[in-house]
Amino acid sequence: MLRKQSANTCKFAILAVCLSAVTAWAGDSSRVASPLVVSPPEKLVTFDASESPHDNIAKPVRLGDGRLLALSIWTQGHAQKMVGRYSADSGTTWSAPQPLFLFPDQAGEFGYFDAFTDRDGEVHIFYLSDEAARPQPSNGKPARAGEVLDIWQVKSTGRATHWEPARNIWKGRAGDIMSVIQLQSGRILLPISYKTSRSWGKRGDGHKAFTFVGAFSASAIYSDDGGDTWKQSPDELTIPTPDLFAIGAAEPVVLELKDGRVWMLIRSQMGRYYESFSSDGGERWSAARPSAIVASESPVALVRLPDQRILMIWNEAERYPYAYGGRHVLHAAVSADEGRTWIGRREIVRDPARKDRPPPNGDWGVSYAFPALAPNGTVVFSLWVETGNAKSLFRLDPRWLEQTRQQTSFEQGAGDWTMFGTRGAEPSRAADGTSVLAVRRAASDWPSGAVWNFPAGESGRLRLRLRLREGFGGNNLGLTDHYSVPFDDQDTFHNVFNLSIDEQGLLLGTKLVADRWYDVELRWNTREGKCEVMVNGKRAGSVPAQRVSNSINYLRLRPLSDKPDGGLWLQTAEADVAASANNANLR
């Protein structure tokens, strides 16, 4: 049985997500003459996941004729087949599943695949094959599940109308395949990760003897003859780990830059991606170094858009035990300067089950995006990690990430906020019928808090209409540049700006009286490292940034009282980063 171990730490759980509506409007006026109005990310379709126990995700690729093909592995007993669904309208509608080819029944169990279409219109699919599922000789030692995961390839002919037999192109214990591209030179480049014999007891020589880089390393294999023969780079890329149980360098993703270099981003357990560069098409690689892209222990997806910008999809999250940061929300951003600066950094999918207790085992959340560029310029993607049993395809219009204003109110609930794992943060209604978000400490043994994402900005303003309640016990308004769970008890150390309202209602010396509405405006500038505070149109003061950051994209509300209090009401929040839409950056 093909299982996840080490780099694939949990058995695959078939999962489900849905998108919450986000109110946003008015694009950056420097890019368009009139307000930009595009649809927010949407769920296109959900497929039945009952046909396969572990890998029935529908992974999309764009065919040479412009259609999209969504690939899935179906398993019946020991037999496996690849099936495909076709879309001729950029993912809006899909055909019924059609069988494409059978997998060799003597080769093991196949899964964890990725695919791409080459410039000749042929589709290449790369899989892992679990040796433990192969028939074992009666006098031989059987392999354990996940002990050997070879890489196999299937290539189409006749512009994806026929399929060659599957064949083994790499032997070992590989990590999940997350990326494969064809370079301008015609070379096919497949980044890989693989398990080594390293352990804390056998850390290695040189500097490795003083630290631990995990059992997994990253590298790449490449083909210059259309996938007929393959070579492996001699460079082994390693990454430090934060503990003795972390796996190290895993699930790399590559993109060719305009200057001809190849950029590799590697999943790590260090709170950010590590990066490496190749100047010769993937044969030799620079040592892996930490990038400035904050991320949980989850892989990234990179797409070159028709206008040559780069779209990135990933989990921008920290300080949660599962996946070293969590996978509760999925983010996206766009770069016009080859990954040096980014706009957007918005939540595009939220796990609808995040309000529930996490499952005891199996992968969960929303992560592992597999995107394909649709003919209409949108990006269609599926998720290998979703909480639940169904599998869905989503669509993102990259222009949505250019929007610079976002507003939230609570007439329809608080679907664009995160409040799970807390008590006392919930939609409510004031005595006059006004819909509000109530944030209070409801129980001494439960934390409370609420988190809201908006478009990232180096500078911007956030307008809040709020009201302290009788018995208010204090609240910290945090502005920061990444997601963490609402009950993160270290957020004040990691926020960029902290603006505390004490239990007396004092905000920078301005007294907020209970049961009155106030308009509080926060005007931040990360370049200058300060945040000005206005209360009812009058300056209350400013607070300095407590650390360097390039942009802000999150508001955090967290009660300060250790015992139940009256808390506060939030009626509306509006973020505006139009002045810095093209300056927000991660690197």
Q: Are residues 53 and 159 in the same domain?
A: yes
Residue 50 pLDDT: 61
Q: Among 372, 402, 432, where does a domain finish?
A: 402
Burial degree of 98 (CB within 10 A; 0-12, 13-18, 19+): exposed
Which residues does residue 237 pair with via DSSP β-bridges, in sequence order? 218
pLDDT in tens, 52-95: 555 668 999 999 999 999 999 998 877 899 999 999 999 999 99
Q: Are residues 59 and 164 in the same domain?
A: yes
Residue 51 lies in a domain: yes
- Which are the contacts of 87, defined by CB distance < 8 A and separation ≥ 6? 67, 68, 70, 93, 94, 95, 380
Quote the domain boundaries for residue 463.
Answer: 406-580
Residue 249 lies in a domain: yes
Q: Is the dihedral of CA 43, 44, 49, 55 positive or negative?
A: negative
Residue 134 pLDDT: 56
3-state secondary structure of 424: coil
pLDDT in tens, 311-362: 999 999 999 999 999 999 999 999 999 999 999 999 999 999 999 999 988 8
| DSSP one-letter code for 132 | G
Q: Among 373, 402, 431, where does a domain finish?
A: 402
Residue 33 pLDDT: 34
Residue 145 lies in a domain: no
Q: Are residues 454 and 428 in the same domain?
A: yes
Residue 37 lies in a domain: no
Burial degree of 372 (CB within 10 A; 0-12, 13-18, 19+): buried
Q: Are residues 360 and 498 in the same domain?
A: no
pTM: 0.91
CATH of the domain at 563: 2.60.120.200
Residue 4 pLDDT: 39
Residue 33 lies in a domain: no
Residue 81 lies in a domain: yes
Q: Are residues 386 and 430 in the same domain?
A: no
Residue 452 lies in a domain: yes
CATH of the domain at 204: 2.120.10.10
CA-CA distance, 87 to 69, in Å (whole number)? 7
Q: Are residues 498 and 350 in the same domain?
A: no
Q: Are residues 563 and 484 in the same domain?
A: yes
Q: Are residues 441 and 386 in the same domain?
A: no
Residue 47 is inside which H or E element, if any?
A: strand 42-47
- Which are the contacts of 337, defined by CB distance < 8 A and separation ≥ 6? none
Q: Among 402, 425, 457, where does a domain finish?
A: 402
**Of 242, 453, 253, nearest to 350 (Cα)?**
453
Q: Are residues 435 and 570 in the same domain?
A: yes
Phi, psi of 399 (to 5 degrees): -65, -25
Q: Are residues 334 and 472 in the same domain?
A: no
Q: Are residues 339 and 452 in the same domain?
A: no
Q: Are residues 175 and 267 in the same domain?
A: yes
- Weakly modelled stretches of the chain, pLDDT under 50: 1-35, 582-587
Residue 31 lies in a domain: no
Q: Are strands 425-429 and 552-559 parallel, antiparallel or unpaired?
A: unpaired
Our count of domains for the chain comes to 2
